[in-house]
């Protein structure tokens, strides 16, 4: 994780420092430390994504562009005109912060702004700032304690990253021809990380995603520090779960696109007379860069801009309105360009797609689930700040985002491409749309040292959060942070939650010795993001918009069902890779044309046997009637399994740790070997299988680490093999918080360790 952070931070910190100086000339060194990593990373995303759009991306050209950006940044920071009057506005503000410009003779407005900012800096709470930074740093914990993220989205991002590493573009890999349409900034920077660190694409995506969350938190603290609320920004963010849950679920580009809001808060939550041409340029660069990361960030930033314009135009000050009008013209040009691309290029490809909302209306229950506590405090803050300009901008911003969620109320509506595009773009927006706006509102109310602008000259000064409530919320956030990290440590022992099994990961090293095409399953566990360059896989994730010219996956799948060996020989597809999470293994196991070449914990590499002389296996599913002591649990991947020849259904028998269970079996008469496929839930202690009759040895120790495993036993007397007993070292299960209970993939939130029984595989005598 440290190496990944260094290869991103090192080339971006100087440009970020320069941007923080230009966008906020009043920032001191501490505020720049908060802002520079976020602003630099946003610029790096923009530069890298642009190279992909120009079809010239490579680590070399990205290094050249980054070097040029660092040279420009160095000149911006270190060049100062000797004549003060010829310095830029932000340089004059820096001079005012150091007392070089007097209020009487030079620039009263600069001196006044400098005076306010110096007061903010003097009133910083060092203990609260330190605590906030510690809380933000916990975003880096997960990559340090586990090797790959949870969720499924990261696999698609890793596939894009690997393709950029190998080819420098987003053309489809393997036996497929076509291309992905997806914002290129995040996977291209992840490819930079993978190339420089030697990590595989999945690890690079994981590290970059959490580093981005960390610098985003720091950047929000820095941007709100300009309003005297920096120490409270992180605590306000801690009242919501949205962005943290989205990062946990590996929605990294959606989170990364929030970096543009750091610029938005710096530029748009300030007095009009303090905003200059360079602020508008910075805002335009931010809009462009976040569009290359994920369109959600551009939409949220555009709505913040709209809110700013709405309230700015309503001001009585004509000079203020003129400044806002100029900003509106430039913003309108950007937004018009974005809508033109969306309507003419992307939306027509979604003409047959329906409006999509997997988790329901995002402004309803999902909003309450992930940001309910923050929304409650935000409502009180909105009332307290309703007569300030900054408060009204934040309130309107949230309201516009909430109205945007109405698109999810028309789920299933077809043939309106714009609405379909919007719904897919705003997928799960309850996690990432409302968190920052509400946190801004709460932080501005929480801080006792803000200097907000009255909406009317007669408006009273707003009251800040009561000290008792402030202390209570700080303690609550700190306790919640400790609890969250405890949960993170606990979940790091639950590899069964991952979309690939440990056996899948171990088996991929065997692909190095294969040259040609390999059949892979068209599911999350079948997308090989770290395939060697000489191996062509058949399956690809449907990430973003996929344009497929040709693909062999469907033909290969059909050929497997029909035992069409000539097809595989013609296409040099002599191997297949299956996961214990998938279903194709059940077809290949009973086919005389496919033979196990290598097997690791249920993950299997198969080799084609054109002569049909492969040894066939017998399979039998395990249900709750076979295990009387077992509970019944849903299979979390049930919606991704479209064949069920073993009649397993959607449920699996689950034996809690510490519960002794009896498994009833019916062995074939000529059985020589029995293999049990099972899934351990969490890190359990010793798990044992014994049978007094039927097996070659009566007592066996089973693997008890989390995930799928396959244990095989020699059968001594098939007719006497009727029951298998399962025993444990531990007398009681360990409780743990199961996030699948929140997502709907499972029905249990407070779960317990144990084992899920899957199926039995029998080998018989020839």
Spatial separation of the C-alpha atoms in residues 125 and 546, rounded to whole Å: 50
Helical ranges in 492-599 per DSSP H: 502-507, 553-561, 565-570, 584-589
Average pLDDT over residues 340-366: 70
Handedness of CA 530, 533, 535, 538 (dihedral sign): positive
Please report which confidence band the pLDDT of residue 555 belongs to, taking 50, 70 and 90 as the band edges.
Answer: very high
Average pLDDT over residues 572-579: 93
What are the φ and ψ backbone dihedral angles of 596, each rounded to 5 degrees? -65, 120
Average pLDDT over residues 475-494: 88
pLDDT tens digits, one per residue of 629-646: 998 888 888 888 888 888
Q: Which of 674, 680, 692 is nearest to 759 (CA)?
A: 674
Q: Where are the domains of the chain?
A: 2-491, 502-616, 619-764
CATH number at 619-764: 2.60.120
Alpha-carbon distances of 535 from 176, 530, 573, 581, 582, rounded to whole Å: 13, 10, 10, 22, 21
pLDDT tens digits, one per residue of 313-324: 555 555 556 666
Where is pLDDT greater, at 428 or 321? Answer: 428
Element (H, E) at 437: helix 435-446
pLDDT tens digits, one per residue of 176-217: 999 988 889 999 999 999 999 999 999 999 999 999 999 999
pLDDT tens digits, one per residue of 464-482: 889 999 999 999 999 999 9
The predicted structure's pLDDT at residue 104: 45
Q: Using the structure block, give the residue that is written with the tokens 């000064």.
A: 461
pLDDT tens digits, one per residue of 650-662: 889 999 998 988 8
Average pLDDT over residues 338-355: 60
Contact 327, 333 (CB under 8 A): no
Average pLDDT over residues 508-514: 85
Alpha-carbon distances of 540 from 206, 527, 567, rounded to whole Å: 19, 6, 20
Alpha-carbon distances of 87 from 91, 92, 93, 349, rounded to whole Å: 6, 6, 10, 50
Q: Using the structure block, give the residue that is written with the tokens 């805002």.
A: 283
Alpha-carbon distances of 313 from 310, 389, 453, 640, 756, rounded to whole Å: 6, 12, 15, 51, 62
pLDDT tens digits, one per residue of 207-244: 999 999 999 999 999 999 989 899 999 999 999 999 99
Output the average pLDDT for the chain.
86
Please report which confidence band the pLDDT of residue 520 belongs to, taking 50, 70 and 90 as the band edges.
Answer: very high
Spatial separation of the C-alpha atoms in residues 38 and 58, rounded to whole Å: 23
Average pLDDT over residues 34-45: 96
Average pLDDT over residues 531-554: 88
The predicted structure's pLDDT at residue 325: 65
Where is pLDDT greater, at 324 or 627? Answer: 627
Q: Give the CA diameter of the chain.
A: 104
pLDDT tens digits, one per residue of 271-328: 766 667 777 888 888 888 998 999 899 899 989 988 888 776 555 555 556 666 666 6
Spatial separation of the C-alpha atoms in residues 581 and 591, rounded to whole Å: 19
Q: Which of 29, 231, 223 is nearest to 130 (CA)?
A: 231
Cα-only R_g, the chain: 29
DSSP per position, 464-476? ---HHHHHHHHHH
Through-space distance between the first and last CA atoms of the chain, rounded to whole angstroms:
52
pTM to 2 decimals? 0.91
Whether the pLDDT of residue 765 is over 90: the answer is no
Whether the pLDDT of residue 603 is over 80: the answer is yes
Residues of the chain above pLDDT 90, percent: 43
Q: What angle do CA 498, 502, 503 make, to 5 degrees?
A: 130
Please report which confidence band the pLDDT of residue 105 belongs to, taking 50, 70 and 90 as the band edges.
Answer: very low
pLDDT tens digits, one per residue of 128-152: 999 999 999 999 998 998 888 988 8
The predicted structure's pLDDT at residue 644: 84
Q: Indicate the SS3 state at residue 479.
A: helix
Handedness of CA 662, 664, 670, 671 (dihedral sign): negative
Cα 202 from chain centre: 12
């Amino acid at each position: 994780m440290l190496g990944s952070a260094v290869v991103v931070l090192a080339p971006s910190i100087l440009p970020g420092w320069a941007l923080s100086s230009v966008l906020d000339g009043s920032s001191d060194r501490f505020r720049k430390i908060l802002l520079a990593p976020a602003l630099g990373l946003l610029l790096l995303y923009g530069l890298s994504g642009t190279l992909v759009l120009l079809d010239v991306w490579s680590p070399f050209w990205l290094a050249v562009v980054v070097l040029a950006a660092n040279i420009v940044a160095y000149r911006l920071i270190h060049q100062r005109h000797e004549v003060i009057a010829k310095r830029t506005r932000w340089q004059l503000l820096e001079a005012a912060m150091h007392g070089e410009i007097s209020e009487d003779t030079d620039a009263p407005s600069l001196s006044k702004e400098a005076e306010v900012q110096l007061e903010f800096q003097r009133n910083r709470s060092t203990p609260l700032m330190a605590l906030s930074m510690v809380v933000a740093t916990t975003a880096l914990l997960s990559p340090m304690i586990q090797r790959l993220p949870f969720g499924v989205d990261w696999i698609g991002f890793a596939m894009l990253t690997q393709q950029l590493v190998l080819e420098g573009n987003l053309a489809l890999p393997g036996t497929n021809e076509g291309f992905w349409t997806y914002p290129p900034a995040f996977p291209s920077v992840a490819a930079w990380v993978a190339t420089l660190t030697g990590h595989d694409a999945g690890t690079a995506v994981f590290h970059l995603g959490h580093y981005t969350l960390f610098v985003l938190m720091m950047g929000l603290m820095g941007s709100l520090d300009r309003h005297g609320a920096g120490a409270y920004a992180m605590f306000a963010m801690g009242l919501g779960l949205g962005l943290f849950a989205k990062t946990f679920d590996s929605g990294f580009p959606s989170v990364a696109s929030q970096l543009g809001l750091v610029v938005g808060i710096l530029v748009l939550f300030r007095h009009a007379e303090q905003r200059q041409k360079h602020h508008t340029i910075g805002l335009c660069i931010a809009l462009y860069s976040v569009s290359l990361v994920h369109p959600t960030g551009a939409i949220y930033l555009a709505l913040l801009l709209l809110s700013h314009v709405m309230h700015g135009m309503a001001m009585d000050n004509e000079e203020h309105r003129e400044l806002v009008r100029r900003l509106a013209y430039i913003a309108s040009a950007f937004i018009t360009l974005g809508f033109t691309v969306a309507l003419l290029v992307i939306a027509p490809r979604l003409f047959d797609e329906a409006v999509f909302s997997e988790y329901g209306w995002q402004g309803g229950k999902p909003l309450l689930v992930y940001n309910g506590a923050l929304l409650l405090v935000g409502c009180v803050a909105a009332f307290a700040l309703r007569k300030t300009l900054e408060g009204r901008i934040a309130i309107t911003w949230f309201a516009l985002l909430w109205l945007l969620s109405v698109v999810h109320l028309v789920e299933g509506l077809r043939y309106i491409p714009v609405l379909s595009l919007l719904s897919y773009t705003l997928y799960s927006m309850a996690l990432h749309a409302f968190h920052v706006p509400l946190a801004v509102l709460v932080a501005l109310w929480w801080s006792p040292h803000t200097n907000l602008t009255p909406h009317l000259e007669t408006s009273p000064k707003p009251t800040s959060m009561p000290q008792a409530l402030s202390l209570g919320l700080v303690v609550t956030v700190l306790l919640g942070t400790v609890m969250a990290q405890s949960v993170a440590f606990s979940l790091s022992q639950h590899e069964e939650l991952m979309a690939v099994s440990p056996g899948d990961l171990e088996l991929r090293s065997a692909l190095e010795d294969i040259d040609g095409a390999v059949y892979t399953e068209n599911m999350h566990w079948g997308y090989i993001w770290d395939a060697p360059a000489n191996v062509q896989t058949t399956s690809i994730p449907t990430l973003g918009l996929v344009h497929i010219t040709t693909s062999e996956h469907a033909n290969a799948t059909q050929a497997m069902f029909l035992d069409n060996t000539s097809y595989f020989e013609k296409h040099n597809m002599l191997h297949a890779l299956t996961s214990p999470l998938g279903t194709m293994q059940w077809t290949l196991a009973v086919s005389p044309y496919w033979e196990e070449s290598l097997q690791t914990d249920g993950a299997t590499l198969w080799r084609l046997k054109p002569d049909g002389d492969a040894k066939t296996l017998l399979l039998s599913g395990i249900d709750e009637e076979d295990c009387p002591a077992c509970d019944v649990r849903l299979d979390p991947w049930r919606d991704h399994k479209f064949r069920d020849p073993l009649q397993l259904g959607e449920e699996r028998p689950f034996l809690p740790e510490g519960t002794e269970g009896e498994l009833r079996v019916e062995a074939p008469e000529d059985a020589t070997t029995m293999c049990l496929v099972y899934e351990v839930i969490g890190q359990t202690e010793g798990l044992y299988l014994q049978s007094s009759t039927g097996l070659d040895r009566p007592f066996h120790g089973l693997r008890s680490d989390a995930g799928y495993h396959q244990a095989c036993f020699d059968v001594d007397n098939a007719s006497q093999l009727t029951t298998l007993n399962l025993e444990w070292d531990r007398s009681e299960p360990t409780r743990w918080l199961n996030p699948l209970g929140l997502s709907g993939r499972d029905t249990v939130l407070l779960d317990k360790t144990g084992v899920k029984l899957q199926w039995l595989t029998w080998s018989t005598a020839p």
